[in-house]
Amino acid sequence: MPAVSIERAKAVLSEFVLVNQETSIDKLVLGKENYTKFVNEFWTAKQRQANSIHEISYRACYKPQLPRFFIDIFTEKGDTVYDPFAGRGTTLIEAALMGRNIVSNDVNPLSVILTKPRLNIPRIDEIEGRLDEIEFGQSEADIDLSMFFDKKTEYEIVSLKNRLLDSDVDNWIRMVSTNRLTGHSAGFFSGYTLPPNQAASQKSQKLINARLEIVPPYKNTKEIILKKSKSLLRNINSKLRRELKTINSTFSSLDSRKTSHIQNDSINLTVTSPPFLNIVKYAADNWLRCWFNDIDASEVESRISLCRTVETWSEIMGSVFDELYRITIPGGWVAFEVGEVNNGKIKLDEHVVPLGLESGFVCAGVMVNSQDFTKTSNIWGVNNMKIGTNTNRIVLFHKPK
């Protein structure tokens, strides 16, 4: 497609002032330079209701409406969209739903397990038939999971862990099982624990059980998998299933600074959200998921950068931007979502702008998507409107032709 010009991009964003008087235009002043800042609630959960296939719980993830906003403006069908910090795959799944090719990377291999099966979607009858084929034995886990699961449930989980193969339907069941391991409602394999997929330690779970005077009840894993599958697929029809399978996709689990497998000048648009200092410990949250998928959680943790200072974070992100510049087509775009940290005193967008400029990008401006208090921030123990991140701050970069 003809690349969207930086002037056109600014015009598109400026149009929000005309159609919605609540949009405000401000200036981000860095040194002697001024950058345009657009402030409004540009996307919400109510706008363009997201497809049900997105409903995979994962800590620290943005709404699908965010990447859709930029994919819609800056790409056409057949273009390639990239996310170097893919997480649960929100950007990539939304891009695929819109007919774009995708390149996915995340140092945590769980990202591939959670994302790839949603491009190769089996039918409900295939899922149900395969679940009927899997026989449950009485093998115990090789670690103590009694604080999370009833013994019979544990047998079922271990059977799933050991007997799932590498096929579209088995990979789907593995994804859903990974997603249903722990949570605080009847729709999870565990007894009551922390919010979805933020796995407590074994010691912490014992304290939770003692405080609430609970014993993990039996959960029928096959019923839970089938129910969650039906929920995920309620917006998927045969036509969309076929279209998703035709998407050209690349997956990797590498350091985002070292992605030599991605060709120069091959990415039309990157939409991503990097780790924010050490606010969220992704590996610690995922230790049980790693066990289920035979992933060495300590090895993954050693490769995940948890930065304690803005200076260290900026040094790492600077190298990421160098790599993004290499792989972005001339005329291509990067939407880099960051937040506020340290009780709102640090606004990472002010640190990101110079990093992109140093790598050769032009900054088209900063979009601030103002939000109300959210459930996610409450899970983090953060009051969104006071001390945490109460906005999506997206720094928009353009690679000159």
Determine the pLDDT at residue 23. Answer: 52
Q: What is the pLDDT of residues 174-207, one digit of tens each?
A: 999 999 999 988 999 999 997 666 678 899 999 9
DSSP helix/strand/coil, 359: helix
Could you tell me the end-to-end alpha-carbon distance of the chain, in angstroms, rounded to an integer?
A: 14
pLDDT(214) > 50: yes
Determine the pLDDT at residue 323. Answer: 98
Domains and CATH numbers, the chain: 6-119+235-398 (3.40.50.150), 124-232 (no CATH)
What distances in angstroms separate CA 174 from CA 127, 161, 392, one per listed residue?
11, 8, 32
Determine the pLDDT at residue 371. Answer: 56
CA distance 371 to 390: 6
Q: What is the pLDDT of residues 112-129, one digit of tens each?
A: 999 999 999 999 999 999
Determine the pLDDT at residue 343. Answer: 60
What distances in angstroms separate CA 47 from CA 41, 58, 72, 268, 274, one per listed residue?
11, 21, 14, 25, 24
Q: What is the pLDDT of residues 290-325, one digit of tens each?
A: 999 999 988 888 887 777 788 889 999 999 999 999
* CA torsion through residues 249, 255, 261, 263, sign: positive
CA distance 22 to 11: 17
Determine the pLDDT at residue 5. Answer: 64
Q: What is the pLDDT of residues 45-80, one digit of tens each?
A: 555 578 999 999 877 678 898 899 899 889 999 999
CA distance 285 to 274: 17
Which residues, 6+ apart, have CB-to-CB distance to 37 below 8 Å? 25, 26, 27, 28, 365, 366, 367, 368
Determine the pLDDT at residue 194. Answer: 77
CB atoms closer than 10 angstroms to residue 393 = 23
Q: Are 195 and 183 in contact (CB under 8 A)?
A: yes
Q: What is the pLDDT of residues 135-183, one digit of tens each?
A: 999 999 999 999 999 999 999 999 999 999 999 999 999 999 999 999 9
Strands 80-83 and 267-272: parallel
| pTM of this structure | 0.89
